[in-house]
A and B are shown apart, each in its own frame.
Chain A
Amino acid sequence: MQQTLEVMGQVCPFPLIEAKKVIEDLKSGDELVIQFDCTQATESIPRWAAESGHTVTNFEQLSDAAWTITVKKK
């Protein structure tokens, strides 16, 4: 299953806080797609994913100051 979290327009640390909340309700192997535009989150979200053992399956810039990252729950 794949869920999309749309946090465009939210400033740090909210994109990460929301992502942490949403991933709690997912099952292992489910994917969470996060769409965000907070620059600092390009650092904080992949770091959180790596440190908590989730896998990043996609990470790319969509356009100017807009990114998408897909985190697969461990």
Chain B
Amino acid sequence: MVQMILTGLLCGALLGFVMQRGRFCLTGGFRDMYIAKDNRMFYALLIAIAVQSIGVYSLIQLGLIEFSTGAFPWVATIVGSFIFGIGIVFAGGCATGTWYRAGEGLIGSWIALFGYMAMSAIMKSGPLTPLNQSLQSVQLPKNSIAESTGLSVWVFISIFAAIVLWIFIRELRKPKVVIPTMKPKRRGLAHLLFEKRWHPFFTAMIVGLIAILAWPLSEATGRMSGLGITTPSANILQYLVTGDQKILNWGVFLVLGILLGSFIAAKGSREFRFRMPDTKTGISSFIGGNLMGFGASLAGGCSIGNGLVMTAMMTWQGWVSLLFIILGTWTASYFVFVRTNVKKKSLNSGTSITTV
């Protein structure tokens, strides 16, 4: 129990810290592919997937950890991921993003988080369990891309790693635009950790390494999996209303650690402050959180569980989910940002302009 608490909190805190400081926001990344034609955060995600994939399959090869891919619940994955993608735009951050923004003091993210936890629990052990189970029962027998094709998983990892390396080199060769920064007020380690802007590709590599670390730490406590956000988030609420200690697992402390790590990062860099959203943002966050919980429970993972981990494990579930999360994000972005922009060129509520 003590080990589970300590290693879970530690791994989560590392992730929360790195994501907060590196501004690792997948919602923003998927959205900007469409509204700003900017693929940098998506490329960063691919880097994190590649690093994790190589690391975790090396550990599996060495017999240090175990993993079975199971079956592929394709209908639930497609429908759930699309709904999840819509939800993260309304919530202003994906599941992990919502956890780390909660650590920055954004009350809107607390609201989204509550909706997310509640709907996940409703889907996993509440009245919507039958719906969830019936959609998940539509399955294809093989989830592993390697098993389906009869090739070694290393073939897919090598091809993928080569593509990612090519993108990485191509992006770094692009002429650099000098981005204005604030005058540094600190030096040395304090500057690097709490002030300096992190390159998204650097952040992604660290995220990939933390994702590898999660596997042995989690398996040591009997939870045979890597990073995961949705089930643990539901578990927190299930534990709080039942008091059943069996519900507590490594993942629960992982997500609590994200909150802790992000709080430390935000506090240390003077980016923490309780911020109350306006009514419109609050309602949107709540709806988004519920859609996130519904979608991620159905799809068997959020943008981390499916988009980062199951992709790295080279499963159909991971890659199909990632595609439909992105499509969901684009659909919601069209209605929230693109269409409203064309219709009324007016300003958002809460905005004021003064001319001097």
A residues with a Cβ closer than 8 A to B are: 1-7, 9-14, 17-18, 21-22, 37, 39-40, 42-44, 46-47, 49-51, 56, 59-61, 63-66
Interface flag for B273 (CB, 8 Å): yes
Contact A59 to B355, CB < 8 A, known contacts A12-B92, A21-B347, A64-B272: no
Q: How far is the CA of A40 from the CA of B341 in the complex (A)?
A: 21
Question: CB distance B183 to A60 under 8 Å?
Answer: yes
* A64 interface neighbour in B92, B271, B276, B353, Cβ under 8 Å: B271
With beta carbons under 8 angstroms apart, the residue of A5, A40, A66 that contacts B28 is A40
Which residues from chain A contact B341 at a C-beta distance below 8 Å? 17, 21
Contact B270 A64 (CB under 8 A): yes
- The docked-state distance in angstroms from the alpha carbon of A13 to that of B338 is 12
Q: Which of A1, A10, A63 has the most CB of B within 10 A?
A: A10
B177 touches which of A5, A13, A51, A66 (Cβ 8 Å)? A51
> B181 — which chain A residues lie within 8 A by C-beta?
46, 59
Chain B residues in 8 Å Cβ range of A49 = 180
Once the chains are docked, how many angstroms separate the CA of A28 from the CA of B110?
41
The answer on a CB contact under 8 Å between A14 and B348 is yes
Q: What is the CA–CA distance of A59 and B184 in the complex, to the nearest angstrom? A: 11
User: Would you call A18 and B348 a contact (CB within 8 A)?
Assistant: yes
Q: How far is the CA of A43 from the CA of B24 in the complex (A)?
A: 11
Contacting pair B354 A4 (CB below 8 A): yes
CB distance from B30 to the nearest CB of A (A): 12
Let me know if B351 and A7 touch, CB within 8 A. yes
Closest to B31 in A: A13
B337 partner residues in chain A, CB cutoff 8 A: 13, 17
Cα A64 to Cα B108 in complex, Å, equals: 18
Residues of A contacting B: mostly: mixed
21 contacts across the A-B interface (CB closer than 8 A):
A2-B355, A3-B356, A4-B353, A5-B352, A7-B350, A9-B276, A9-B350, A11-B92, A11-B106, A11-B108, A12-B25, A13-B32, A18-B351, A39-B23, A40-B28, A56-B180, A59-B180, A59-B181, A60-B182, A61-B182, A64-B273
Listed in ascending order, the chain B residues whose CB lies under 8 Å from chain A are 20, 23, 25, 28, 31-32, 35, 92, 104-106, 108, 177-183, 197, 266, 270-273, 275-278, 281, 337, 341, 345, 347-348, 350-356
A-chain residues with CB within 8 Å of residue B278 when the two chains form the complex: 9
The chain A residue sitting closest to B185, CB to CB, is A61
Q: A2 is contacted by which of B106, B273, B350, B356 (Cβ under 8 Å)? A: B356
Q: Are A22 and B104 in contact (CB under 8 A)?
A: no
A47–B354 CA distance with the chains assembled, in angstroms = 24
Determine the distance from Cα of A67 to Cα of B229 in the docked complex, in whole angstroms.
31
- The docked-state distance in angstroms from the alpha carbon of A7 to that of B278 is 12
Contacts of B180 in A (CB 8 A): 46, 49-50, 56, 59
For B197, the chain A residues whose CB sits under 8 A away are: 43
Chain B: minimal CB distance from A3 (Å): 5
- When distances are taken between beta carbons in the complex, the residues of chain A under 8 Å from B270 are 61, 63-65
Q: Smallest distance from the beta carbon of B38 to chain A beta carbons, Å?
A: 9
Q: List the 3 closest pairs (A to B, CB-CB), nearest first.
A: A56-B180, A65-B273, A2-B356
Output the nearest chain A residue to B346 by Cβ-Cβ distance: A21
Given contacts A9-B276, A65-B272, A66-B273, could you give 13 more A-B pairs where the C-beta distance is less than 8 Å?
Answer: A2-B355, A3-B354, A5-B353, A7-B350, A13-B32, A13-B337, A22-B347, A46-B180, A60-B182, A61-B270, A63-B273, A64-B270, A65-B266
